[in-house]
Each structure stands twice: as structure tokens, then as C-alpha cells.
Structure 1
Amino acid sequence: MRDLSDSSDKTDFPELLRQDAHAWLVLLTSGKATQEDAQAFQRWRALGPRHQKAFEEARDQWRLLKPAFGKLLGTRAELARHHQRLLQRSSLGRRVFLGAAVSAAAVAGVAVVHPPLGLWTPLDEWNADYRTAAGEQRSVALTSQVDVTMNTRTSVRQVAAEGRTVGLILLAGEAAVDVRAAERAFGVVAGKGRSLCGGGKFEVRFLDGKACVTCIEGAVRVEHPAGSLSLRVGQQASYDDASIGAPVAVDPADAAAWRRGELVFKRSPLSAVIDEINRYRPGRVVLMAPSLRHKTLSARLQFKALDAALLQIQRSFDLSARSLPGGVLILS
């Protein structure tokens, strides 16, 4: 990253100043900032009132990004563990500095329960029995009749009864469940709903409070406070806390493409494509081009070639790219 303390000699000063402000915000909340970074930020902010105003604008835009802000960092005893593959807790000194730097930068609204840009694990996922990092997939034999494959950035917790595993709670992410003729139905809880299967294959996705259940083989029953329904092969149902939708037809092969290392998009908004890529890629891609968010894209991408895919997206939509610390990529 170039020296952010000096942007006054550039011809396109306002835009570069805006980008520098975003760069500082990302760095200060990434968990990788140092004391030297904090001092450099103070020098940059002291260059003039426009720098402070640009930072305030970046902060306000940040607050519009998902996941949404929750409780203030200052009101939490726990601070964030940085998302680093298996997610290790940062040192006390780093956490103290991060809290101080964020406070000084006037972004104390960033919460440990809703981390900015998804750069670390939310508080409610810390007690997972199994977790995968960005780009990681993992298969677990929960019982002699049930196998679970976890997709990227997924956290699950087992549910036991009478000394044996009878289900799991999908805290976040996506899981494929294969059930071989079990004596009792295996259940997956995601949000307000529960999916039950006595024999077959199904997938559950739970992100940002919204769940999606797909039947790949056999049959699945989905129970929700707003109603219950049954899914057959090639059917999918979605729900949130308040309601559950009617089953819709889907291609099971496309729905399960992630198990083959693929992402399939069919006339998907560019913003949705970027959001999905973010689940598989360490760091974060931020689309700062509002006019392009709803442009559609159809593609079949390989997990192992996401950087190449991002380069193609950059060229196709005439975007400029800027890399920042922590694997953050700004597209504008």
C-alpha cells in the first residue's frame, strides 16, 4: 500500500483522498494495525479538515455495509479474534490497541457481534464444534448414518440426546447432510427453522439471518413457526425469522456445485456475485461502484481460480482495483 500520509500532490485529489480514507478505515479495523499505523493515521488526519471529512464519509458508508453494526465495541468485554484460517485470538496488547485505534478513528460502532466486512468471526459463532475458514471445506461423520460436509466459512454445533448426536445447529454458512436410513430423522436447525430427514441428501444455507433448504435426494421436512412444508428432489425453500416461502424448483446439480469446487451464477447481480466470492476468499472484496451493483452476470467459477475471476470481472465492468492490507480488494 502506498504512503497514505501524502495525497496532496495527486491531480485527482478528491477521489484519492476518499480512497485513502477507506484504506485507513479498513486497516484500523482489520486487527493487523500497529502502533506505527496509528501514528501515521493521526498524521494523515492532521493534514487538514478535508481529510477528517473524508474519513467521516468513509465511516458513514462503512455503516451501510453488511453485516450491520451491533453493540459498541466500548460496551463489550470481548473484542474480535481476527479471521485467520482456524481463527486464533489476538494478543491482549493488539486487542487493546485495536479498541483504542478504532475509538480514536470514531468507528466505535463496529461490533464484535457484527464484525466490519466480515473480517473475523462473530461472537455467536465462537462456541461452534466445527468451523471452516475461507476457502476450506470439511467432511465429518457425525454418526454411523450421517455425514456432513461443511462449505467455506461455516460454523456448526452438534445436538445430542441420550448420549448420541441427533442433529446439529448451523450457526452460519452452508452444510450438506447425507442421511442413510436412520431410525430417527436427523435435524438441522438454522435460525427459526428446522429441517428433518430420515433418509436422503439435503443442503442448508444460513447467511445474514436468511436460510435456504434444498432437497438433493429423498425428502426433507422443513418446520418453521410460520408453517411447515415438505421438499422433494429438486425443490428448495427459503425462510427468515418471520416467514417461510413456498417450494421452488431448482437444478440439484447447480445447487450442489460447491461440493465439486464450483460457483454457478445465472444472471446474478454483480453485488451478489461479489458477496459469494467473499465467502471463499480470505480478506474481503468491496464493490464501491453503486451503478454496477445490479448489473447481471452469468458464469461458472472455480474455487481455485477466484483471483483470475476477479480480474475478469474487473475488465468486463471496467473497474479499477486497489489492494489493501488483510486481503482487502477495493473495486471502483
Structure 2
Amino acid sequence: MTAGVNKASEDSARLEREARAWLRRLRTTTVTQVDAEAFKRWRATSERHAHAFVEAQRAWDDLSPVLSRLHQSAQREASQRPKSDVSLARRAWLGGAVSAVAAAGAAFVWPPMGLWPSAHERAADFRTVAGEQRQIAMTDAVNVEMNTMTAVSRQTVNGVTVGIELVSGEAAIDIHAQTAGFSVLSQGAKTIASAGRFQVRHTGDKTCVSCVAGTLAVYHPTGKRVLGAGQMLEYASDAIGTAKAVDVAALSAWRSGVLVFRRTPLSEVIAEINRYRPGRVVLVKQDVGAREMSGRFDIRLLDVVLEQIQRTYDLDARRLPGGVLLLG
């Protein structure tokens, strides 16, 4: 029994080391196609591999602010000491170097403001850019429709496609004929259905699964959930919610080129528009972010929607390079 526990502990430690190594490699080097393919193979080895990488990403997220604070502390210390203090200068330089590496790595793996795809998204098999939608026949029985700014990779067993990994974004899965089960891996959890239609959305630090038709099961490290038509749930890498009723027509409206908002806070409306529009809209006047907005809008006419928001909430607009729009 002890030998088995020790073996499991050693395997977990090995996966953690490998995940951190991949994160460093993706963060600090120029990623080649060979690197990307090797990373995809490693990540697809098992759910434990995928989960280990998610945990490594989370650890880096937690570490980055600490490194930044250390760098700021070193700068303050340097400004208060004589410039002739060589040892202090060295410490300050080291602090700056660590912070610079951290900032460069974070920008590479998690781009600022989402202005370009991350390393993980670039390594995906299929990817859409802002405003693009794409349909893919994954198997004879399964069609996957990718929404804007979405990255997915095939999951195969013995050369046969059995599912996808949703790296980021949103995908709708239509199963036209009874199958042994088609799965969607996201944040270390797996959603499986044998028939019907469902959607999976992974933005930020949460994944949302909604069942449009049929039934499905979500297998999360903390437990299993079963959803029926008209139900959805959300989960993070360390916790899973419970099923609740949802308006699947509104959730699926993007497939018809429409965005539907029902008493949605303006900050969330802006965040959603940012997924479909190149560049980035920044709500500078944050006190209006909680005000609610309702409506149905054509995805192709989002600039018209932004003009309407500007007038309705009496906001000034300032355009910057790279498609950045400041509203305040």
C-alpha cells in the first residue's frame, strides 16, 4: 500500500515538474512548430497532464504580483541608498532582471489586454480570430462550431478523434448520430455526451457548460454533474457549481450572428464586445460599469453599438493605435 502511495506521489511530482518546465519553455523561448506539436502531445497524454499544466499556470499567476512587488521594493531601496553602494546596485539589477523576465513571460503566455493570442492558443490545432466563426466536421457524427477568439485541439485515441480540448473561447458541439461519447476537455475537467447538442465556453478563469438538447455529464476533479436540456453550470479548475436553468436560445444566439443582452451590466457588455472586435474597448469611467443594458445586436455592427453606448451613457471616446478605444 505504501509503495503504491509513494508511486502516485512521485508521478504527481514528476507531472508538476514537467508542467513547470513546459511553462518556462513557452514563456522564455521562441516557440517553433516542433515545440508546439511536442507540447500538444504532452498535454494530451492524459487529463492529469492537462490539469498539471493548469495548476502551473495558476501558480505563475500567483507569483507574478509577488515578483513585481519585490522589484518595486528593490527600486525604492535603491533610491534611498548611496549610488556608490555596489552590492545594492547589484541587488536592484537582479530584482529588475527577475521582474523583466516575469513581465516578458507573462506577456508571452498571457498577452496584455488580449491583444494577441497566447502561446497556448497558438499551439492549438484550430483557431479563430476576433469576429471569425468556423465550422469543423470533427467526425462523421460530430460537428464543432467555433465562436470568435477560440482555440481548440483534437483529442485522439489510436488515431481516432474522440473529442477536443477547448484551450480558450467558445464552441458548440452538434452530435448528429449516436456515438460512444464525444468529449470536451477544459480546465482539467471533461464534458461528455453521446448525442444531442451542447456548448462549452472558457473565458477568464471559469468554464461554462450548457446543454441545448439531450443529456451530458461533466467529470470534474471534485465531482460529477449531469445536465439535461436547458441547463448549465460553471466551474473553475478547483471547484464546480450546480446545474441551473438557462435560456439556451440566448446563449446560442451567436450562432445566428446576434448578441443578446438582458439587463446585463455595461462592464460585461463591453467584455463581450471585446471578444468579437479587433483591438480592445476600455471602459475608463468605471462608475457606469454596473448600469444595466438590454438588447439584440448584430455582431457585424458592433461599432454602431459602441456609438449607441457612448451616447446613452454620455461617454467621451478616444481611439488609440491597435484598435484600442477608451470610453470615459
TM-score between the two structures when normalised by the length of structure 2: 0.69
Aligned pair 1:298/2:275, yes or no? no
CA distance in 2, matches of 1:107, 1:296: 40
Q: Does the 8 A contact of 2:310 with 2:316 survive in 1? A: yes
2-structure distance, mates of 1:78, 1:241: 28
1:130 aligns with 2:126: yes
Q: How does 1:6-85 map to 2 (within 5 A)?
A: 76-78=28-30
Q: Please report how far the alpha carbon of residue 229 of structure 1 lies from its aligned counterpart in structure 2 after TM superposition.
A: 1.0
Shift in Å, 1:310: 0.2
Unaligned runs of 5+ in 2: 1-22, 32-95
Rounded to whole Å, the distance in 1 between the matches of 2:222 and 2:265 is: 29
Within 5 A, what are the aligned runs for 1:198-277? 198-277=194-273
Q: Distance in 2 between matches of 1:226 and 1:163?
A: 30
Shift of 1:181: 2.8
Distance, in Å, in 2 between the alignment partners of 1:131 and 1:229 is 29
1:75-134 CA-to-partner distances (Å, cap 9, x unmatched) read 72349xxxxxxxxxxxxxxxxxxxxxxx9xx98725211111100011111211100000
Distance apart, 1:163 and its partner CA:
1.6
1:170-181 equivalences in 2 (<5 Å): 170-181=166-177
* 1:155 corresponding residue in structure 2: 151
- Give the whole-Å Cα distance in 1 for the aligned partners of 2:262 and 2:306: 17
> Which aligned segments of 4 or more residues in structure 1 are displaced greater than 4 angstroms?
none
The aligned counterpart of 1:286 is 282
SS in 2 for 1:236: strand
Q: Sequence identity, in percent?
A: 46
1:200-248 residue CA offsets vs partner (Å, 9 max, x unmatched): 0000000112100010011111110111111111000100011111111
Contact 1:180 1:198 in 2 (8 A): no
Q: TM-score, normalised by structure 1?
A: 0.68
The code of the aligned residue for 1:257 comes to A
Q: Is the partner of 1:112 in helix, strand or coil?
A: helix
**CA displacement, residues 151-184 of structure 1 (integer Å, 9 cap, x when unaligned):** 0000000001122100000000000001123331
Aligned-CA RMSD value: 2.1
**2:139 paired with 1:143:** yes
Is there any run of 5+ residues in structure 1 with no aligned partner, and where?
A: 1-70, 80-102
Partners of 1:146 and 1:124 in 2: how far apart?
24
